[in-house]
Amino acid sequence: MEKEVSKTQDSEILEILKIAEEDGKWFSEKYEELRTKYEGKVVAIKNKNVLGDANSVDELLDKVGKKGEDVAYVLIETIPPKDVSFIL
């Protein structure tokens, strides 16, 4: 019985990771389009959809939480203004 639970948990984790990877890929592919609409904002993405946007992560997490979403399973990304550069 314990092995069955472990297999179920493993497959659930793999599914969550797969969705996160797909959302990250979608964000990268749609970046310029999203930048036009959400420049200077923080956005929440789930299942290749923008759930919400805000000026800060705290504000966004509050918005997403109020929609009933578990923020642990949502991709959070920042879209900086065009004149901002990041040095990695």
Domain ranges in the chain? 2-79
Confidence of residue 42 (pLDDT cuts 50, 70, 90): very high
* DSSP of 26-50: HHHHTHHHHHHHHTTEEEEEETTEE
Q: In terms of DSSP bridges, do strands 49-54 and 41-46 run parallel, antiparallel, or are they unpaired?
A: antiparallel
- Report pLDDT for 7: 77
Mean pLDDT across 6-15: 86
Q: Please give the span between the terminal C-alpha atoms of the chain, in angstroms, as a whole number.
A: 47
- Report pLDDT for 38: 97
pLDDT greater at residue 28 or residue 9: 28
Confidence of residue 88 (pLDDT cuts 50, 70, 90): low
At 74 the three-state DSSP class reads coil
